[in-house]
């Protein structure tokens, strides 16, 4: 018998699909309207007056008056809001500050306003509805759903609630999903991640879980603990589990491990949420890339990553982007972020509609020798090299080895295997060949004998989790950087096996 929720889901999904199609088919006009609305709303704020918003008529005017900024440059305005002032970056006060840990700024407080949280909630809902519209699958709506997230306990300062984005989002689960939602509020409030995951396992192991969502590395930890408890594959524990929703990192390096843990394939939806806004979600199962949210109170600018550190890099809008180019994404939002660099790099896979993939972080790359290797390239190399093999990788990161004990410098890949290859040298060769194929600078350095072939260092099982715990970043929204231009992370691994 079809439940009421299932019966309503399909027509609602169709309605949402049609509304999205309207703006997706008029992308440039949609972004222009968002831009004009933002400038109009921001003109009366302290920031708007400081930057003469009243005289901004177009993007060229905006570029002249508002320079690209990171959190440090925005911080003086944020501190005034924290102190209780109004109309600083956006009219009134924000509803929340999303607390994030920055690599250079320490703790960051990202403002979230009523319109910006509403856009976040709508985008996460619409991602699921577009999946329903495309596949016709509504069976999962009657089962239990879990969203692995941070604690929803919020602190308050001068009338503004402060917490992690995922904890703030927990307050916006629609009423019709409240009964289906796991874990319990009490368990969700546990701060220690390992204690929390153990409690979630106990609460969910006998439930009819149909949807599981979270950052892949932390869902993996949940799956492993379920398997340890039951000795079964996840697909056997949860026979009706058929939808995995994830965001924050590229799923592909985890896919083989997940399919082994689950024991079968399940559909997945990729999301691109951040404290600064909900930027994109996967709108088609068979398409590479996520639909850029052009109608969500966010105006996008892009700078070619290779030009970003120049004195005056060119800022473009969606109408001038090229496919396959690595761009730094700059945003202006209805939460009062103006020409703000969130630090992500993206590549467009389509312009009809506009779809993106996250290619890495502008600060996370290796260019110790001028190679400028990015996250997308090492992830693709890993994916290609272990495809059609039994090798399963739990986690990995890459760093340069500039002063080896002997021989030429090289890239060192620190890999934690669940199922390791018989021949590490052969895997290293495949990884290196893939990287050379993708990155001409790297190819030239290998060919010119500036670098030698990459080397693999095996990390003991559980080593990455140990590292994250040691730096106070186990769980939540924290992720291991895929690569770095120095050895700060990899030198922290206390017990790794020698490379072979």
Domains of the chain: 1-363 (3.40.50.12780), 366-492 (3.30.300)
Residue 166 in tokens: 């995922």
Report the C-alpha gap between 414 and 454 in whole angstroms.
11
Report the C-alpha gap between 396 and 215 in whole angstroms.
15
Contact present, 481 and 361 (Cβ < 8 Å)? yes
Phi then psi for 291, rounded to 5 degrees?
-70, 115
Least confident of 161-175, 206-220, 308-322: 161-175
The CA-based dihedral angle spanning residues 138, 148, 251, 108, taken in that order and rounded to the nearest 10 degrees: 130
pLDDT-derived band at 476 (thresholds 50, 70, 90) equals low
pLDDT-derived band at 450 (thresholds 50, 70, 90) equals confident
**The tokens 């895997």 sit on which residue?**
427
Higher pLDDT, 3 or 313: 313
**pLDDT, position 308:** 87
**pLDDT, position 496:** 46
**pLDDT, position 106:** 65
Report the C-alpha gap between 33 and 29 in whole angstroms.
6
Report the C-alpha gap between 315 and 481 in whole angstroms.
27
**pLDDT, position 371:** 81
Least confident of 15-24, 227-236, 273-282, 435-444: 435-444
Give the three-class secondary structure for 229.
helix
Average pLDDT over residues 275-287: 94
**pLDDT, position 152:** 86
In whole numbers, what is the pLDDT of the chain averaged over residues? Answer: 89
Report the C-alpha gap between 376 and 360 in whole angstroms.
6
Higher pLDDT, 404 or 2: 404
Average pLDDT over residues 113-142: 93
Report the C-alpha gap between 350 and 234 in whole angstroms.
35
Q: How far is CA 104 from the centre of its chain?
A: 19
**DSSP single-letter state for residue 454:** P
In this predicted structure, the answer to whether residue 497 has a pLDDT above a threshold of 50 is no
pTM above 0.85, yes or no: no
CA angle 486, 375, 389 (to 5 degrees): 115
């Amino acid at each position: 018998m079809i439940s009421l929720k299932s019966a309503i889901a399909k027509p609602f999904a169709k309605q949402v699909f049609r509304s999205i199609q309207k703006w997706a088919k008029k992308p440039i006009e949609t972004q222009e309207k968002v831009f004009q609305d933002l400038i109009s709303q921001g003109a009366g704020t302290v920031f708007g007056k400081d930057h003469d918003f009243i005289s901004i008529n177009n993007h060229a005017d905006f570029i002249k008056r508002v320079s690209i900024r990171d959190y440090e440059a925005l911080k003086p305005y944020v501190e005034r809001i924290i102190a209780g002032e109004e109309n600083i970056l956006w009219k009134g006060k924000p509803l929340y500050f999303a607390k994030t840990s920055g690599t250079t700024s320490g703790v960051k407080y990202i403002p979230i306003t009523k319109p910006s949280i509403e856009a976040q909630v709508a985008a996460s809902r619409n991602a699921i509805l577009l999946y329903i519209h495309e596949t016709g699958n509504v069976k999962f709506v009657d089962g239990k759903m879990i969203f692995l997230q941070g604690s929803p306990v919020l602190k308050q300062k001068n009338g503004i609630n402060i917490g992690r984005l995922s904890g703030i989002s927990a307050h916006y689960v629609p009423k019709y999903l409240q009964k289906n939602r796991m874990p319990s509020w009490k368990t969700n409030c546990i701060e220690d991640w390992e204690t929390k995951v153990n409690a979630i396992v106990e609460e969910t192991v006998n439930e009819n879980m149909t949807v599981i969502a979270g950052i892949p590395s932390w869902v993996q930890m949940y799956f492993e603990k379920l398997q340890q408890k039951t000795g079964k594959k996840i697909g056997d524990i949860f026979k009706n589990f058929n939808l995995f929703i994830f965001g924050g990192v590229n799923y592909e390096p985890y896919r083989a491990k997940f399919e082994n843990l689950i024991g079968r394939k399940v559909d997945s939806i990729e999301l691109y949420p951040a404290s600064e806004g909900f930027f994109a979600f996967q709108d088609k199962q068979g398409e590479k890339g996520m639909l850029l949210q052009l109608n969500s109170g966010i105006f996008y600018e892009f700078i070619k990553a290779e030009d970003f550190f120049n004195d005056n890099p060119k800022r473009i809008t969606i109408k001038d982007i090229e496919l396959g180019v690595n761009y730094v994404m700059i945003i202006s939002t209805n939460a009062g972020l103006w020409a703000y660099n969130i630090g992500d790099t993206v590549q467009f896979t389509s312009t009809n509609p506009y779809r993106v993939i996250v290619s890495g972080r502008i600060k996370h790359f290796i260019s110790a020798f001028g190679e400028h290797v990015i996250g997308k390239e090492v992830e693709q190399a890993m994916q290609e090299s272990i495809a059609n093999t039994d090798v399963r990788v739990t986690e990995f990161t890459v760093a340069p080895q500039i002063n080896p004990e002997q021989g030429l410098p090289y890239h060192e890949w620190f890999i934690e295997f669940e199922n390791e290859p018989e021949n590490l040298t052969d895997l290293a060769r495949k990884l290196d060949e893939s990287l050379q194929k993708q990155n001409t600078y790297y190819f030239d350095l290998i060919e010119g004998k500036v670098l030698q072939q990459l080397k693999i260092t095996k990390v003991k099982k559980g080593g990455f989790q140990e590292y994250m715990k040691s730096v106070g970043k186990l769980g939540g929204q924290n992720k291991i950087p895929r690569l770095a231009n120095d050895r700060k992370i990899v030198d922290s691994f206390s017990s790794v096996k020698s490379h072979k």
